[in-house]
Amino acid sequence: MLINSLISEKTFNEWAPERLKAISQQFDSSPPHDLIRWGSEIFGADLVMATGFGPEGIVLLHILAQIAPQTTVFYLDTDLLFPETYELRDKLEKRLGLRFTRVRGELSLNDQARRHEPELWAKQPDRCCRLRKVEPLRRFLSDKRAWITAIRRDQTAARANADLVEWDLTNQLVKINPLAGWTSKQVWTYLLEHGLPYNPLHDRGYPSLGCWPCTHAVLPGADPRSGRWAGHTKTECGIHLQLPPESPAA
C-alpha cells in the first residue's frame, strides 16, 4: 500500500495542476489532432482511449486512426447497450481499422440480480452504474498513465470546467479531453463532412445514448441529456465525476 501511495504521489507531482493547466492553454487554439499526437508521443502504450460510440467519440476515433492507430481503445460493456450500439461498433472497426477492447464488470446481469435486486438500474441507478461502469473503469485504468475521453464542457454541469488536459483525481492518471471546447454543431459537421457512420438512434430522438433501460427519446429542442435516467435526479453515470479514489463513486 505504501509503495502504491508513493508511486501515485510521484505521478501526481510529475503532472502537477499548474503544468497541466499550461499544457491545456498551449493547445487551446489547436485542433484535437495536435493534442492526440502529443498524448501519443508522451505516453506511448500507456495511453488509452475510452469510447461509448457517441458522435464525439467517433470524431476522435477517426482522428486516432490517422495519428496513433496502435492506441488501445476500450468501451465499457454493461451488457445493456442498445443493439444498434454493438452494430455501430462493428461498422467502425471495419471502417477505421481499429480494434476495440471490451471492458466488463465482475457480475453478470443474473449475478447482479441475485446479489442485489432485479432491475437494479430502475431502483438504484447509481449503484448499477457503479457496478457496471465505474468500478470496471477503475480496474482497467489502474496501470495506465493517461486516457482520452470525448467529453465536452457544454454537455453537463459536471463537465463545464473540464480542461483539455487535467489530472483525474478518481483514477489517478492524466485525462485528455480533446473536444472539451467543441460544440455539438462542430461534432456533427465533422461527422457528416467525413461521411462517418453514427448510431441511427440519433435520428430517432435519442441525442444521448447509454444503456437501453435508462435511455429514452426526447422531444425536439429538449435537453439532450434529459432522456438519460428519466425520473431520477441523476445526470452522470459517474465515470467523469472527480472523487477521491477511496470514495464510492455513483
Please state, rounded to an integer, the average pLDDT across all residues of the chain: 88
Compute the average pLDDT of residues 141-168: 91
Compute the average pLDDT of residues 189-214: 95
pLDDT band at 8 (very low <50, low <70, confident <90, very high): very low
Q: Which residue has the cell 472527480?
A: 242
198 is a domain residue: yes
CATH number, domain with residue 155: 3.40.50.620
Q: Is the dihedral of CA 172, 173, 174, 175 positive or negative?
A: negative
Q: What was the pLDDT predicted at 245?
A: 52
Q: How far is CA 182 from CA 29, 143, 153, 178, 241, in A?
A: 11, 29, 8, 9, 20
How many residues make up the chain in this entry? 250
Q: What was the pLDDT predicted at 2?
A: 33
pLDDT band at 241 (very low <50, low <70, confident <90, very high): low
C-alpha angle 151-156-160 in degrees, rounded to nearest 5: 75
Residue 189 pLDDT more than 70? yes
Q: What was the pLDDT predicted at 160?
A: 85
187 is a domain residue: yes
220 is a domain residue: no
47 is a domain residue: yes
Q: What was the pLDDT predicted at 157?
A: 81
Catalytic residue among 128, 129, 211, 237: 237
89 is a domain residue: yes
Is residue 211 annotated as part of the catalytic site, yes or no? no
249 is a domain residue: no
Between 55-69, 70-84, 138-152, 212-226, the lowest mean confidence (pLDDT) is in 212-226
Which residues pair with residue 72 across a beta bridge?
48
Which residues pair with residue 68 across a beta bridge?
none
| Domain enclosing residue 141, as ranges | 15-206
159 is a domain residue: yes
Compute the average pLDDT of residues 207-220: 90
Q: What was the pLDDT predicted at 17?
A: 85
The secondary structure element, H or E, covering residue 74 is strand 72-76
pLDDT digits (tens, 9 = 90+) for 126-143: 999 999 999 999 999 999
Which amino acid, residue 225? R
pLDDT band at 229 (very low <50, low <70, confident <90, very high): confident
pLDDT band at 11 (very low <50, low <70, confident <90, very high): low
Q: What was the pLDDT predicted at 61?
A: 98
DSSP annotation string for 19-66: HHHHHHHHTTTS-HHHHHHHHHHHHGGGEEEE--S-HHHHHHHHHHHH
Alpha-carbon gap, residue 231 to 238, rounded angstroms = 17
Sheet arrangement for strand 165-168: 100-103, 72-76, 47-50, 146-148, 173-176, 165-168
Three cell numbers written together for 240: 467523469
What total number of domains does the chain contain?
1
Q: What was the pLDDT predicted at 243?
A: 59
Residue 46 pLDDT more than 70? yes
3 is a domain residue: no
Q: Are 101 and 141 in contact (CB under 8 A)?
A: no
Residue 13 pLDDT more than 50? yes
